[in-house]
Amino acid sequence: MPITGLSRTHSANATVTDSAAGGTALACGIKTNNGTVGMNPDGVAYQSILEAAKEEGMKTGLVVTSTISHATPASFASHVKSRGSEAEIASQLLANKVNVMFGGGKQCWLPKSAEGSKREDERNLIEEAKSQGYLWVNDSNELAKATGDYVLGLFQMDALTTFSPEPSLPQMTEAALRILTEKNKESLFKDKFKINTKALKRDKGFFMMIEGSQIDWACHGNNADNCIKQALLFDQAVKAAIDFALEDKNTLVIVTADHETGGLVINGGNEKGENIDVKWTSGGHSGTPVPVYAFGPGAEKFSGVMDNTEISQKIAKLIGVKEFPKIKKND
């Protein structure tokens, strides 16, 4: 990717952030305490860049390999004091009407009485989603054929396994890109002279957050092999996004992280990449700045050293949001 930057990742109350505070910084453009999702340290909810994009008429998507209610995706479409409130987060994700949601975590969408449910009530969010117009997809075959304005695909009770036959991160990314843009490709002209106003209204583009969630988990376990596997899956998802952007010519792709994990350093190895000597300095996160890569219109705004809160602020300016960050209005 042509543009490279570095992002500082500290949270409001710690040098080393967690994914809730890191995700909130990336999503809402504000610092908050570790553990808090989509709110400032005083518990005031802030609008996320996904919500701002939606307000601008853009479609929205979340694609992850964790549960869809895990801290990072949660930061983009929910507001809770504790990242552990995943059942509440799932309810808010649905209420937010994110167009496309792919990942794991059925356990927080099924009623308490269902086997393996993590809910404390009898709400069946999957049935509620269907009744609100979502297409429900349960496996790779259904994902490949999925179409429509709203699509929900949760492929495991817990996080994804990242093994076949469940859909991979790049497959989910490609499907989400197709679904989020298919209506935009319909002709802007009903005939030679009449503008198709419906298509014109729809053509506002989209905002999507894609997370290779399990890179972090592999690094918590200091598992280099799994770290490489998860990073390669993420790399393929990035490729899908870049291929789309190359063809579309009007899509900005930003690649970054909410934090580093494991304090991974490479101590040696030969020029062929053999005998790599990997050392971990921690089983937790670190405060090391993380890279930011950008491609597409506006990419140049993401070079140099920046705070993680600036990333969504820059995106907001690029898509024409007048005020960001801003306190979220009650719906």
- Position among 2, 43, 57, 221 found at the interface with another protein (CB under 8 A): 221
Contact status: 136 vs another protein (CB under 8 A): no
Does 160 help bind another protein (rule: CB under 8 A)? no
User: Binding residue for another protein (CB under 8 A) from 10, 285, 301, 314?
Assistant: 285
Handedness of CA 159, 155, 242, 149 (dihedral sign): negative
Angle (CA) 151 155 156, round 5°: 140
Q: What is the dihedral of CA 309, 298, 215, 165, to 10 degrees?
A: 130
Question: Does position 24 bind another protein by CB under 8 A?
Answer: no
Any catalytic annotation for residue 19? Answer: yes
Q: Provide the minimum distance between the beta carbon of 285 and another protein in the complex, in angstroms, as a whole number.
A: 5
147/262 Cα distance (integer angstroms)? 39
Among 10, 31, 59, 83, binds another protein (CB under 8 A): 83
Q: Minimum Å distance from CB 128 to another protein?
A: 23
Of these, 217, 232, 242, 328, which contacts another protein (CB under 8 A)? Answer: 217
Across the strands, what pairs with 154?
Answer: 103
Residue 217 identity (one-letter amino acid): W
The single residue among 67, 96, 171, 313 that binds another protein, judged by CB under 8 A, is 67
Q: Say if strands 100-104 and 151-154 run parallel, antiparallel, or are unpaired.
A: parallel
Told to check if 71 binds another protein by CB under 8 A, we report yes
Report the residue number, 39 or 159, with the smaller CB distance to another protein: 159
Considering the complex, state which of residue 35 and residue 111 has its C-beta at the smaller distance from another protein: 35
Which one is catalytic: 7, 11, 19, 69? 19
Can residue 18 be called a binding residue for another protein (CB under 8 A)? yes
How far apart CA 326 and CA 51 sit, in angstroms, is 11
Looking at 24-32, 213-221, 264-272, 289-297, which segment touches another protein (CB under 8 A)?
213-221
Look at the alpha carbons of 321, 323, 324, 327 in this order and tell me if their dihedral is positive or negative.
Answer: negative
> How far is the C-alpha of 70 from the C-alpha of 68, rounded, in Å?
6
Q: How far is the CB of 284 from another protein (least distance, A)?
A: 3
* Torsion, CA 204, CA 292, CA 323, CA 101, rounded to 10: 50
- Which DSSP category does 302 fall into? G
- The answer to the question of residue 78 lying near another protein (CB under 8 A) is no
Per DSSP, the residues of 83-140 read TT-HHHHHHHHHHTT-SEEEEE-GGGTS-TTSTT---SS---HHHHHHHTTPEEE-SH
CB of 229 to another protein, least distance (A): 15
Q: Is residue 84 a contact point for another protein (CB under 8 A)? A: yes
Binding window for another protein (CB under 8 A); candidates: 130-138, 172-180, 280-288, 315-323: 280-288
Per CB under 8 A, 282 contacts another protein: yes
Q: Which residues pair with 278 in a beta bridge?
A: 266
Catalytic sites, residue numbers: 19
Site residues, another protein (CB under 8 A): 13-14, 16-19, 34-35, 66-67, 71, 82-84, 158-159, 214, 217, 220-221, 282-285
